Structure formats: structure tokens, C-alpha cells
Amino acid sequence: MSEEVVSVTAPLDVRGASTIPPNALAAARAADDKLGQDTVVLGMGDLIGVVDAFVVTNGRNVRQVRRIVEEIEFQLKELDGSAPRAIEGLADGTWVLMDYGDFVVHVFAEETRSYYDLEHLWSSAPRVRWRDEAALPERAQQLAVTWPIPGE
């Protein structure tokens, strides 16, 4: 099975992906800031037509899931005043859905993400590259400073 990876830094029409809202990419980066795991952005416009993108990530536990949701909400509000139309699942915290209209953010607890496996369900959706590859060494260094390995 091959995956199509699309690089997007602004709204862009590409083969297999509808216009990806810039705030979907900002949401992925916000999740990454709170150590969301295996964050992916899926181009959904050509598949379902209701939203242009899904952002899918997970936290290791319910507390981290809530922190990721709060960070996404905070950063998008700071960016351009965006607020989700609805947030579902926050009380339970195992699968939180944030509806921003043109994209939806799914923040899972680790086990719940494995069980529902949205990436497999929507495997025909192109994965959109959201991470600035040039910033990866800097981000790794930030994490090393922020999260030292015990015994070092």
C-alpha cells in the first residue's frame, strides 16, 4: 500500500487533496507542541466533501488529551480568532472531536485511536505534510532540553 504525501504551507489544491485550510496545519503543530503522538493531516475534501481535512493525533492518557485540545483551541484563537463550532467528547477524554467547519480535529487516547484506526478507515485520503522539515533538528533539541533522559 503506497501513501501519497502532499506538502502544504498554505491553501493549495493538489491531486488527491482538496484545499487544506491553513488552520488545520496550525492545529497539527499545536498538537505537536503538547507532544501529540503520530499527528497526521488527511486531505478529505475529495472523499467526503463535508470537510477539507482531518487532523488526527493522540495523547498517552486522558490528561494529555485534554491538554492537546486546550493548546489547539488556544493557538487557533491566538492565530486568527478561530474557535471550534463544537467540541464533543471532552468529558470522557478518550476521543475528542473539534469541529472547525472546514476541518475536524480528532484527539484520541492511545488505546482508543488504535481501536478506531481512522487512518486505516480513510486510507485512500492523502496525508498532508504539515511539519517544517527544516525545523526538525531544532525541535528535537528543544525536546531534549525540555525532557532530559534520566541518568544523563
- Kindly tell me if the per-residue pLDDT of 117 is higher than 60: yes
What average pLDDT does the segment 79-90 reach?
96
- Kindly tell me if the per-residue pLDDT of 14 is higher than 60: no
Q: At what angle do helices 62-80 and 22-33 cross, to 10 degrees?
A: 140
Can you tell me whether residue 56 is helix, strand or coil? strand
CB-CB neighbours of 74 under 10 Å: 12
State the fold for domain 5-143: Beta Polymerase; domain 2 (3.30.460)
| Cα separation, 65 vs 82, whole angstroms | 20
Q: All 3 cell numbers of residue 84?
A: 471550534
The structure's pTM equals: 0.77
